[in-house]
Structure 1
Amino acid sequence: MSDQAPVLPPRPTRSRRGLVAAVVVAVLVVAGGVAWFVTRDSSSDSPAAGPSGSAAPTVVKLGTTDIAQPHWEILKDLAAKEGIDLELVGFSEYTQPNPALADGEIDLNAFQHVLYLADHNNNTGDDLQPIGSTLIVPLPLYSEKHDTVEEFTKGEQVAIPNDSTNQARALFVLEAAGLVTFTGDPGVPTPDDVDTAASTVVVRPVEASQTAGLIGDPDIAGVVVNNNFATDAGFDLDGYVYADDPESVGAQPYINVIAARPEDVDNPVYQRIVELYHDPAVLESVVESSGGTAVIVEGYDTARLQEILATTQENLTAAG
């Protein structure tokens, strides 16, 4: 989920979340979301060989909530050259791909970030696992009243998304910007963790889709807006006051991933799809489609992504 589909902010003095800094690209997402579908050759329990010379192509059904994005066609063409028949299928809602994966209707999805996946696993008892990274999108603070965070004054309101997967990240953005202080050291903060006496601004949680529309509200000094809503509202995506650092430790739960059922994490065909996603032609199209805001996530193997997921699930559980 790219705003998912579905990208926590930098906190350089803290290591308690146990997440390692990396160069990374939410949507979800959490901005745009993607679900990957894979089917197997009916004559075998394992995927048919895909390279040239094999008896039959491997059929891979790829589902996505942003099926119109051109990078999927590029990926499809690259897969075809290796004997992988990639079929594109659309999902209309972010809530659909994970249950479909868990139920065996699909074999891969790639619409969400780690935090969304962790929240799903904790809430359902599923054990879906990331097998590859895709991108991350910084979460910005915009303002029509101020050009820098230093200009914000005591008691001014900042609107943030109120959904669980984006609210914590927005609060960390404001903490990193020096606008809020927490009463403790929360792994997944909520507005109740904000020390209002020590903070500059007052947070106002609203529906994520409403944040962009409050940019001109006279009672609102700033808005933390997901990339997709900022784009839809016609924001200058480079005109933010502050944004979290996608290379920071705190941003790691917002890395968008390709996910599979646990028994399939080492499947060579699925791993090859991850590699093809990182082909330069695909990545160039991904960044272009995001308006230049997406940052590609490189250097994460399956084991490291699984460690980050496990830590994120533990932090969510501890937060209650």
Structure 2
Amino acid sequence: MTEPSSSTNGDGPKPDGIRTPMPSDPQEPVRVNHTGRNIVIVVIVAALVVLAVFFGVRFYKNAHATAEKGSESNPVKIGVIGATDPQWVEFSKKAQNAGIHVKLVDFQDYTSENPALDSGDLDLNEFQHLLYLANYNVTNDKDLQPIGGTAIFPLGVYSSKVTDVKDIAKGQTVAIPNDETNQARAIGVLKAAGLVRLKGDWTAFTTPSDIDTSNSKVKVTALKAEQVANALKDPKVAAGVINNDYVADAGLKLTDSIYQDDAESKEARPYINVFVARKADADNPTYLKLVKIAQSKSVFTKLNAQSNGTAVSASDFTAKELQTYLAQIEKQVRAES
């Protein structure tokens, strides 16, 4: 019996479950998985877009930063309160005519302007007096500097009983505001008017306890600022030093004061309103030119009208004088800390 011959070409029968693979169709495309490569491409493209945006923004900022300060593409940014007030409108117009582009940045409070200046978001600000600036510098360990004065708004003594401060009789009572800033200033006004004497030198932090009562002409009572005006109706109160914001509450005008502090006096120095810059920019000629524009007659006239005729020009103080006053006030602030 003849046995079946074995196949030598591989085409013979195979064990169950195994199929001989068919030759690939030469016309069918080979399918390759490109997922990994596509992810890499997407990542690279995204990175290139980010870099393009980064360097584009950087180029734009650098182009503006390198433009001359005060040019149209790099205006002087000044922080103010009340950017649409007549004096600022006039100031902007005169600056433009002088070839200096400015951008007034309007703030709604008194707490943000100095940090914005210190960080470089502003080039200058004008909203504060020297005492406020001194408190900010000392409290925050900063060194912002005044580069020019604008105005002083005198604090006045008012009365419904006498028309001259000299007519206030010895032993009568004068009311003053009790908040820290206005209280010290009010005592300075009374000192200048000859109504009180102090145990020592006046400072921006003088309190009623510093009054030499035995050698003073009047007695002093401290009330909330908004209550001083109403106190004038009290028959025991001869007069009051009224914060300018509350004068109208007494049915008075700012021009009705029987005495006000002298803008040239030592006691008025802490209340000089100033343009402020970073210390490195204190001598910047463009900024100093803007100060001169702000001190011009037409700008001050608008400012004075805005304050009902009570503003006193502070343009005669030099930057060096203001910086000296600031250093003195800062020393007082540290002594009180």
Corresponding position: 1:179 with 2:195: yes
Greater than 4 Å deviation, 4+ residue runs: 44-47, 231-234
Aligned to 1:273: 290
Residue 238 of structure 1: SS of its match in structure 2? helix
The 1:211/1:309 distance shift into structure 2, 3 A limit, reads same
> 1 CA distance for matches of 2:78 and 2:224?
30
Aligned to 1:290: 307
Give the letter for the 2:98 counterpart.
Answer: E
Asked if structure 2 preserves the Cα contact closer than 8 Å seen for 1:180 and 1:195, the reply is yes
Aligned to 2:262: 245
Of the three residues 227, 244, 266, the one matched with 1:227 is: 244
Deviations 1:163-190 (A, max 9, x none): 3222222101111222212122343421
Of the three residues 65, 68, 76, the one matched with 1:48 is: 68
Asked if structure 2 preserves the Cα contact closer than 8 Å seen for 1:41 and 1:48, the reply is no
> 1 CA distance for matches of 2:306 and 2:220?
31
> 1 CA distance for matches of 2:67 and 2:290?
13
Aligned to 1:91: 107
Residue 204 of structure 1: SS of its match in structure 2? strand
Aligned to 1:214: 231
> 2 CA distance for matches of 1:257 and 1:215?
33
How far residue 152 of structure 1 moved from its aligned partner, in angstroms, is 2.5
Give the letter for the 2:197 counterpart.
Answer: T
Deviations 1:121-174 (A, max 9, x none): 222222111011101122110011222233323443322222322222210111
> 1 CA distance for matches of 2:226 and 2:142?
28
Percent sequence identity is 43
Deviations 1:74-100 (A, max 9, x none): 111112223433333322222332232
Asked if structure 2 preserves the Cα contact closer than 8 Å seen for 1:131 and 1:305, the reply is yes
Give the letter for the 1:97 counterpart.
Answer: E
Corresponding position: 1:161 with 2:181: no
> 1 CA distance for matches of 2:245 and 2:319?
28
Asked if structure 2 preserves the Cα contact closer than 8 Å seen for 1:71 and 1:286, the reply is yes
How far residue 248 of structure 1 moved from its aligned partner, in angstroms, is 2.2
Aligned to 2:46: none
How far residue 252 of structure 1 moved from its aligned partner, in angstroms, is 2.0
Task: Identify which range, 192-201 or 168-177, moves more after superposition.
Answer: 192-201
Asked if structure 2 preserves the Cα contact closer than 8 Å seen for 1:187 and 1:319, the reply is no
- TM-score between the two structures when normalised by the length of structure 2: 0.74
Correspondence 1:86-125 to 2 at 5 A: 86-125=102-141
- How many residues were matched structurally? 277
Aligned to 1:129: 145
Q: Which sections of structure 1, spanning at least 5 residues, go unmatched?
A: 1-39
The 1:312/1:285 distance shift into structure 2, 3 A limit, reads same
Higher RCO (Cα < 8 Å, 6 or more apart): 1
Corresponding position: 1:70 with 2:90: no
Asked if structure 2 preserves the Cα contact closer than 8 Å seen for 1:252 and 1:308, the reply is yes
Deviations 1:214-241 (A, max 9, x none): 3323443211123343257652222212
> 1 CA distance for matches of 2:166 and 2:210?
22
The 1:209/1:178 distance shift into structure 2, 3 A limit, reads same
> 2 CA distance for matches of 1:280 and 1:300?
16
The 1:223/1:182 distance shift into structure 2, 3 A limit, reads same
The 1:290/1:49 distance shift into structure 2, 3 A limit, reads same
Aligned to 1:21: none
The 1:89/1:262 distance shift into structure 2, 3 A limit, reads same
Corresponding position: 1:138 with 2:151: no
> 1 CA distance for matches of 2:319 and 2:265?
19
Asked if structure 2 preserves the Cα contact closer than 8 Å seen for 1:58 and 1:83, the reply is no
CA-based RMSD of the aligned residues comes to 2.5
> 2 CA distance for matches of 1:145 and 1:74?
41
The 1:212/1:106 distance shift into structure 2, 3 A limit, reads farther
Task: Identify which range, 288-297 or 58-67, moves more after superposition.
Answer: 58-67
Corresponding position: 1:307 with 2:327: no
Task: Identify which range, 149-158 or 238-247, moves more after superposition.
Answer: 149-158
Task: Identify which range, 59-68 or 227-236, moves more after superposition.
Answer: 227-236
Q: Name the larger-Rg structure.
A: 2
Q: Which sections of structure 2, spanning at least 5 residues, go unmatched?
A: 1-59
